[in-house]
Structure 1
């Protein structure tokens, strides 16, 4: 029997990325393979913060939370790809579009998922880590993007930026991403200013500079975390 550590299952409004404003049911998994210094769901970093639940339990909760305005089910974390087999089984038992929020560093696990509808894939910067950044992170993220594109799954990348983000590093990263992704498909990058938004009161200009840099290579949008403004989960 498949089980996975679950922190919470709830219905809310998606506050990030290209599906911002959509009603979703969120299935938050516990445990992550990275340790980003800006993480706003620190409670989900450790697998011990969750409670082991079965596929049947999760499917039942999803069905209980359905509303007429529901757009999709978001599998989030933590890092949900630590439980790819579990997610596959849940998706096979629900008739609702599926949305995965992932750091994209586990391409072998992402390759297991054929029935996803949408994926938000975080691209990590060196400044997202205190001391454990590796170039392998970006290589795996690019590999994951290409796997998803080959499967015709709708994927976009999200880039969390800080007021002191290094512009030249961002340009080098986006160049690499542009050169190494599937050339037959377009990829959007969502710039997400790190929360809280008060951090940006004196540094808004850099957001325009980052947007201009990314816009030289691919489609770009800047979308802050809407749910922080609405004060909802």
Structure 2
């Protein structure tokens, strides 16, 4: 068994609920989507990665382990393209396992044997050039519901762009609220796209977005801190 790997590195988590925590990141190559805001374009094609076995990846992870690191984050690209590989690597470690995913492959996510925390991106129509495929949102909902049912710690991240409209954003949040089986513990992270210098009146817009989500979910607004710190 082999999977295309872009890089394996240690850094601080720059997004979401575990922001600022030291993690070891395993970045897979290959993605089933083509988001226009992607900040890891080199990971979109599986051809850009180096084929590695689970044993080789585990060996590299062990070289990077430090006392302050408690989590392995599988990211991409789209890591859920490789569920068996993730399961195999995870067996070698007692560290928490985190999946950073677009949530569009629910069956794959469900088959990963060990998951402690999942950061699931909710995609908006503005995230794509051309027509928005409605199956993307439906599969994200399916993934969220199965993770909640399995009592896996999951939160949603929604990247907003300067072009994101409040009306369309509200529609997505309302549908999300209607479709989640148990939303009491689901938190939404609003993430303004980087660089922040591209925004005008960002403070005013962020308050509006937060108020929309706050009608239905617990919400926080967190930019990409690793961009601010200028680290990977």
Category of TM-score, reference length = shorter chain:
over 0.9
Matched, 1:182 2:181: yes
Q: Match for residue 56 of structure 1? A: 55
Asked if the contact 1:149/1:185 (under 8 Å) is kept, the reply is no
Q: Deviations over 1:86-133 (max 9, x none)?
A: 001111121111000000000110110241000000000000000142
Asked whether the equivalents of residues 5 and 51 of structure 2 are also in contact (C-alpha less than 8 Å), the reply is yes
Residue 131 of structure 1 corresponds to which residue in structure 2?
130
Distance 2:98 2:182 in 1: 24
Partner of 1:17, secondary structure, is coil
2:24 is matched with which residue?
25
Contact 1:11 1:26 in 2 (8 A): yes
Q: Which residue of 2 aligns with 1:195?
A: 194
Secondary structure of the equivalent of 1:212?
helix
CA contact (8 A) 1:5 1:48 kept: yes
Who is 1:94 aligned against?
A: 93
Residue equivalent to 1:211: 210
Displacement after TM superposition at 1:202 (Å): 3.5
Q: Which residue of 1 aligns with 2:69?
A: 70
Q: Give unpaired runs (5+ residues) of structure 1.
A: none
The Cα of 1:213 is off from its aligned counterpart by 0.5
Cα deviation for residue 180 of structure 1 reads: 1.0
> Residue 119 of structure 2 corresponds to which residue in structure 1?
120
Quote the offset at 1:58 in angstroms: 0.6
Runs of 4+ in 1 over 6 A off after TM superposition: none
Please say if residues 33 and 79 of structure 1, whose CA atoms lie closer than 8 Å, have aligned partners that are also in contact: yes
> How far did 1:164 drift?
1.9
Contact 2:184 2:217 in 1 (8 A): no
Q: TM-score, with normalisation over the residues of structure 1?
A: 0.97
* 1:184 Cα deviation from its structure 2 partner: 6.3
How many angstroms apart in 1 are the aligned matches of 2:148 and 2:25?
24
Structure 2, unaligned stretches of length 5 or more?
Answer: none
Aligned to 2:45: 46
Instruction: Note the aligned Cα RMSD (angstroms).
Output: 1.0
* Aligned residue in 1 for 2:110: 111
Alignment: residue pair count: 232
Q: Which moved more, 1:81-90 or 1:129-138?
A: 129-138
Q: Tell me the residue number matched to 2:221.
A: 222
